[in-house]
Structure 1
């Protein structure tokens, strides 16, 4: 674990939706029902939040679309998501966290339950020497973005949820002259095939347990 003083550690932000049937993980239906997809989404969110809770951080923030549930561990500051498109919501999450506690910010979503505290610590440490840290996702997006100096202009207007999202976001960072540290690629849980892959990578996770309980 990091020996840096908490004041010198980055914030870690999770941007997430309340796991309500029909509103989350809609690409899992079919083969899963909306209720089953919500169960898997909640399990992934629990895993993500537990990893954040165990990683060194100056502050831990949940940028939430919806209401907190019993899946929320203690110690996280909850702020509502703002904005229309995902680019606006990501930019707002960075801005709101930075407003609460100025300094570097590392942001992840709720789609990578295999994320570990060690990966998050690596991301935070990278911001001591780099302007940005970037975790590519197997679907062409990204699972983590960290900025030493958060700036909405680095995100606004980047097309999200598209095969080229990651490339365009990375291009935006590099065109801004930022030095970027790359992290290992992870698989986002979007499809049933993704769910099986991720569960196999993290067999002890809440997500893997939920998938087994659903008979998959």
Structure 2
């Protein structure tokens, strides 16, 4: 059974979601980040998994539900941190790994379960993001060379990552496109897709 992992930053004001400020204050941006992380953690908790992990930059807080193995992020660039997270999870438990970020509070257990099950028959699973990146990557057998050197936070990150998987000869299952919460304009769009989420509730509290 596949493992499911979230890679995230500790939701501290001034360190997370800085692209949301302004119009949001650093404190509001951190609250939105914590809410998005909470919703993502709850979705993972509700999905059958061999193991649930959090690859964390920072320290866990009261927002972390039980049942997660916390591992520290390693590396400098995002490509290095992603590769290390996959490697560390696979070293702990040599089973397929599904990884998401903390920016898609609209993610559902059904989507995560589809990703995990896809790795029973495919080498990889890929969830494209509307900004050109990706919101999910799953690998049956993680290999750092599949990630290292892929430009991150680039308009074609998703295409370049998918090309890397294709060039490696991997069979890939594609998931629906989702929107990451990266900019102020993304927040109401995502909240509308998940109106009952904590993220949507916190956004309403900000008055925006």
Please report the TM-score for the alignment, with normalisation by the length of structure 2.
0.99
The aligned length equals 208
Matched, 1:196 2:188: yes
Aligned-partner SS, 2:185: helix
Matched, 1:115 2:112: no
Decide which of 69, 73, 77 is 2:65's aligned counterpart: 73
1:139 positional shift: 0.2
Aligned-partner SS, 2:169: coil
Q: Look up the match of 2:160.
A: 168
Q: Deviations over 1:136-169 (max 9, x none)?
A: 0000000000000000100000000110100000
In structure 2, stretches of 5+ residues that fail to align are none
Q: Alignment RMSD, CA only?
A: 0.4
Decide which of 147, 172, 179 is 1:155's aligned counterpart: 147
1:192 positional shift: 1.1
1:69 positional shift: 0.6
In structure 1, stretches of 5+ residues that fail to align are 1-8
Q: Describe how 1:6-45 pairs up with structure 2 within 5 A.
A: 9-45=1-37
Aligned-partner SS, 1:192: coil
Q: Describe how 1:96-115 pairs up with structure 2 within 5 A.
A: 96-115=88-107
Q: Distance in 1 between matches of 2:20 and 2:188?
A: 11
Q: Look up the match of 1:136.
A: 128
Q: Look up the match of 1:4.
A: none
